[in-house]
Chains A and B, each alone.
Chain A
């Protein structure tokens, strides 16, 4: 490297004038994977002690840009400066040496080790020449947590802790390596409201210590709540960088999707309003400790939103209905007829379908083709004489692909190669192919960009217009309010509120009902 020319760093490359100290400056970053350009001449800068939001649709290049900063990928061209000094980040070691720490969305922790063992993994304190000391590691970990202002038992095995603690451990791990920059990728995705609040406070404390945070999120309210500046990427290119005080949410969304989106997340009257014929009647359902005495009636063409905190029993309720977890008491009627459901196969035969929470691990066989995934629940209908009928499969798959506008060039492409939103469409299409009477969806828009999100919500509305009953679980309240005819609020496995949509004046009202305030 030639450069000692560090004096005249102005941040002009980002189009903003920043007088504060530049911690990271990435300029003209380009990257292509086997000929496909994913980043085109992108600029990004980070000031000491700021929270800088990074936004964009899935596939816009956010994670690639961050992986270049962490040394997972190497840029094809462009320059990275840390503290004004040009650096070559060729691998994760170099990134860590430069003070870049990552709080991974899909965590980089080992569940079988303890908190302290994870915090000091590969940097274990050594005593007597070569023996690692877990005791010293625990003490130092406790000190780091004390600095962060949180209490975590350093000796606890990670496997026994919830997601919120995993995240704290990730942050402590980065701080133990003296990270000046933390990259947080959708950090609140799996946190309950109060845990997210605690995280925001922690971010405030880290900022005060001069640590800079790159904050990747789809959630506008969070971005406005904690970020100082925002950079938006679209199709691998830099769209805008701005202080949040001088930009409106509409401008950000327009930057993200490249067009104006009006009222996608607002309640809309549907073509057909909810019917009066009950399709699913649940009485006194109890299953394990998480579902207690739940009763409700779902009508044809109705969308019921299930609201509640993590662990409130929403997922467990649909699992029990779908025959995954056993019911200890209660009864279910479908189409007015009492039914018993002891397996998922029976549930499907009775006209139920469940789109599970984690599409990658529970909903799709990622290495298999789009077509094979679509056909999996429909194999009974595509056989002739005991053998699969190729013609039927091809035409049925094509029908589903065009009906749900899944963007795929070739149905034989592996589903793992599609974007998150398109993967979710495949999951939905796959289950709707079974023509269920009741569709249960658990967080169908999690980790999906805003454009696809509104498409999915439109799909949900269309499904209900088609006369099907829908149980819709979501942690994003604007979404619940946008599609639900009725909202059930669950707390500790019990239904504490059963509200018609028109009774709910605004999001705050629903939030309070969920929190139990």
Chain B
């Protein structure tokens, strides 16, 4: 070996630097938890029941955040998830009352599949920006959900569905927590340990380079948007099961919480980095803050202000410099 080889040697400390931004969510989560535990301990914040409630309330957000991690990692966005959740809840409710549980669940999933495929097709085949496609879809889907229900809630009187998608506990563990954990576990495994996950990161990291390497980036984008639609329909049914009804409002505005959770979790809004476990903690952090603010006596409008500020802070922190 020649002497010039030293030119290409770099001290490890320089290249193995840990970017604290990617882990800020865990610090933030612990800090927020301790803050509320100390200041709101007497208001019941730390009771097991309250903590499990936080988990139940954020299960839908967590499920959608797992899929949104993939969408954002490919440098796309899906704004339609909240309204897809609402439409899935009403379609599932209607189908259950006419055709039973199984058809109801399939119908609910079908909503997410179809809308996800339309989003994905428009983005990957017609190259329409996902921001515009899914923004349009957001309004369109809410309209459909209101139209087919006359804006009225559809009760679900199916104990099995309600137990499976919401109310049920296994021991003291809420079923909703299990849903969220299964999604996160599968999502994290696929992202970090499979070819598909690696191709998602490559597509978002540098689309041209990914294409030159032989990755079908259109298919990747299509697939992640379909997955996002499916996850949104599962989330919609989790709302429906927990609240024992389908209603177009379920999920309204969730896209903002989900995107905030994903960005807080360390996924780059500019693509190429996806952290599924981080997204779970992002969702829990938002749930924690909402819960704490309620216990602290703030009203809905004040909660909205604080949540908006957190989203801005999250995006500012995710910027490269």
Q: Which residues of A contact B199 (CB under 8 A)?
A: 122
Q: Which of A103-111, A230-238, A256-264, A427-435 contacts B (4 or more CB under 8 A)?
A: A103-111
B212 and A121 form a contact (CB under 8 A): no
CA distance A264 to B273 in the complex (A): 48
CA distance A165 to B14 in the complex (A): 14
CA distance A152 to B10 in the complex (A): 7
- For residue B70, give the distance in angstroms from its CB to the closest CB of chain A: 14
Q: Which residues of A contact B206 (CB under 8 A)?
A: 108-111
Q: Per a CB cutoff under 8 Å, which of B189, B195, B204 touches A122? A: B195
Q: Per a CB cutoff under 8 Å, which of A92, A93, A112, A132 touches B268? A: A112
Interface size on B, residues (CB 8 A): 36
Q: A112-B268, A113-B201, A132-B194 are in contact. Are A201 and B4 (CB under 8 A)?
A: yes
Residue A409 is within 8 A (CB to CB) of chain B in the complex: no
CA distance A165 to B8 in the complex (A): 7
Residue B214 is within 8 A (CB to CB) of chain A in the complex: yes
Of chain A, the residue at the smallest CB distance from B14 is: A160
Q: Give the interface centre of A72, A151, A165 by most chain B CB atoms within 10 Å.
A: A151
Q: A110-B209, A112-B273 are in contact. Are A150 and B193 (CB under 8 A)?
A: no
A130 and B214 form a contact (CB under 8 A): no
Residue B42 is within 8 A (CB to CB) of chain A in the complex: no
Residue A198 is within 8 A (CB to CB) of chain B in the complex: yes
A132 and B209 form a contact (CB under 8 A): no
Q: Which residues of B contact A111 (CB under 8 A)?
A: 205-206, 272
Residue B210 is within 8 A (CB to CB) of chain A in the complex: yes
Q: A109-B206, A131-B194 are in contact. Are A92 and B214 (CB under 8 A)?
A: yes
Residues 123-177 of A contacting B (Cβ, < 8 Å): 124, 126, 130-132, 149-153, 155-157, 160-161, 164-165, 168
A132 and B7 form a contact (CB under 8 A): no
Residue B219 is within 8 A (CB to CB) of chain A in the complex: no
- For residue B213, give the distance in angstroms from its CB to the closest CB of chain A: 5
Residue A337 is within 8 A (CB to CB) of chain B in the complex: no
Residue A194 is within 8 A (CB to CB) of chain B in the complex: yes
B214 and A96 form a contact (CB under 8 A): yes
Q: Per a CB cutoff under 8 Å, which of B4, B17, B210, B215 touches A160? A: B17
A157 and B209 form a contact (CB under 8 A): no
Residue A117 is within 8 A (CB to CB) of chain B in the complex: yes
Residue B305 is within 8 A (CB to CB) of chain A in the complex: no
CA distance A271 to B9 in the complex (A): 49
- For residue A109, give the distance in angstroms from its CB to the closest CB of chain B: 6
CA distance A111 to B209 in the complex (A): 10
Q: Per a CB cutoff under 8 Å, which of B9, B194, B209 touches A130? A: B194
9 additional A-B pairs beyond A122-B214, A197-B4, A198-B7, beta carbons within 8 Å, are A109-B206, A110-B206, A110-B209, A113-B272, A149-B2, A155-B16, A156-B15, A160-B17, A195-B7
What residues make up the interface of A, taking CB atoms closer than 8 Å to B? 72, 92-93, 96, 102, 104, 106-113, 117, 121-122, 124, 126, 130-132, 149-153, 155-157, 160-161, 164-165, 168, 194-195, 197-198, 201
- 9 pairs from A and B in contact (CB 8 Å cutoff): A106-B208, A108-B208, A110-B210, A112-B273, A126-B195, A149-B1, A149-B2, A153-B15, A198-B5
